[in-house]
Amino acid sequence: DTGVSQDPRHKITKRGQNVTFRCDPISEHNRLYWYRQTLGQGPEFLTYFQNEAQLEKSRLLSDRFSAERPKGSFSTLEIQRTEQGDSAMYLCASSVLRGVPDTQYFGPGTRLTVL
């Protein structure tokens, strides 16, 4: 059973650059979530998809952030014009909707450092 995978695992970039992260959910999982975790804190919700539809976005997700899930499989999270405050671990999770909220399974995360 292949779990949730994320790429890259680490990204170092300079302020002002654009970055893109990828998440591959567990196959047959129709829900995909993005969270952000800063050091010493719990993850905070950013956005989620059901199949290819983006159903909810947090106010944490500024205009510089965009997420897609074009074919209802993998997802990408892009951050434009990165700022030092964007430095964090970006976590992806997936679940399968069976009429009731199901358990979310997390990937290893992408650690972003903005210099």
Partner 1 sequence: AQTVTQSQPEMSVQEAETVTLSCTYDTSENNYYLFWYKQPPSRQMILVIRQEAYKQQNATENRFSVNFQKAAKSFSLKISDSQLGDTAMYFCACLTGANSKLTFGKGITLSVRP
Residues forming the site for partner 1 (CB under 8 A): 31, 33, 35, 40-45, 48, 55-56, 58, 91, 93, 95, 100-101, 103-109
Question: Looking at beta carbons only, is 82 or 110 nearer to partner 1?
Answer: 110
> Residue 85: what are its φ and ψ, rounded to 5°?
-70, -10
CB of 18 to partner 1, least distance (A): 26
AA letter at 95: S
- Least separation in angstroms between CB 105 and partner 1: 7
Max distance between CA atoms of the chain, in angstroms, equals: 44
Q: How far apart are CA 10 and CA 52, in angstroms?
A: 26
Residue 25 near residue 94 (C-beta atoms within 8 A): yes
The least distance separating partner 1 from the CB of residue 107, rounded to whole angstroms, comes to 6
